[in-house]
Amino acid sequence: MTAETPLGVILIVYQPGNARVLARAAEEAGMAAARASTADELQALLNQREGHWVALVDPSGFGETVWPMCQRLQDHGIPFVVLSTNRHRDAGNRSLQYGAASVLYKPVAKEALLNLLRSLQPGTGSTREDADDGQA
């Protein structure tokens, strides 16, 4: 992937509506979005990927199966952001154990989320404090 190659965003999102609006937001911001809703789909994406990739993880609907996918992202050095809900703060905390760069609580402000994803590219750095700026 060259410097002009768009940033890729893996969407590990179960709910189709969320996958749709996240993909649209990423694409409108010039990023390439690809959805993985199973471990196999994620592995396939990881095998094919070129250039810089980051990931967005929405654990809603996955149950326990989401954590191995987070582990796999960590294993492959893909920085990722977890979108949680206030009702499931324990899931947010758990995601940090699997290497999440940030946890944002839904709904998030679209621009803040996109800025955070850009900041996860190598060389731009990221901080967990960014998460606080992402609340809608």
Partner 1 sequence: MDSVTRDADPSTVAGELERVSSGVPGLDQVLDGGLIARRGYLLRGGPGLGKTTIGLSFLLAAEEEERTLFIGFQEPEAELQANAARVGLDTRRIEFLSLAPSEEFFTGAETYDVFAASDVEQAPMIDTVVEAVERIQPQRVFIDSLTHLRLMSADRYQFRQQVVSLLRFLVDRGATAMFTSEFSAESPDDDLQFLADGVITLDPGISSPTVEVSKLRGSQTRRGPHQYRVDENGVEVFPRILPPMRRLTNGAGSVQFRSGNGDVDEMLHGGLESGTITLITGPSGVGKSTVAAMIAAVAARDGHRASVFQFEEELDGYLRRLRNLEIDVDGPLESENLRVEQIEPLRYLAEEFMADLLQRIEEENIDLVVIDSVTGFDMALNPDEAVHRPLHTLAKSLSRRGITVLLVNENHAFGEDFQISSRDISHLADNVIFFRYVHGGDTLEKLIGILKKRMSNFERVQRRFEIAPGGFRVGQPASAVLQGDGGRKDKT
Residues that bind partner 1 (CB under 8 A): 15-18, 20-22, 25, 58, 60, 83, 85, 106-110, 136
Q: Angle of helix 16-28 relative to helix 110-119, nearest 10 degrees?
A: 70
**Which CB atom, from 75 or from 111, has the smaller least distance to partner 1?**
111
Distance of alpha carbon 16 from alpha carbon 123, whole angstroms = 32
Closest CA to 104 of 20, 41, 119: 119
Q: How far is the CB of 24 from partner 1 (least distance, A)?
A: 8
**Which CB atom, from 43 or from 133, has the smaller least distance to partner 1?**
133
Q: How far is the CB of 74 from partner 1 (least distance, A)?
A: 22
**Which CB atom, from 44 or from 136, has the smaller least distance to partner 1?**
136
Cβ atoms of 126 and 102 within 8 Å: the answer is yes
Q: How far is the CB of 69 from partner 1 (least distance, A)?
A: 18
Q: How far is the CB of 128 from partner 1 (least distance, A)?
A: 19
Cβ atoms of 57 and 12 within 8 Å: the answer is yes
Distance of alpha carbon 103 from alpha carbon 106, whole angstroms = 10
Pair of tokens at residue 8: 């890729």
**Which CB atom, from 1 or from 87, has the smaller least distance to partner 1?**
87
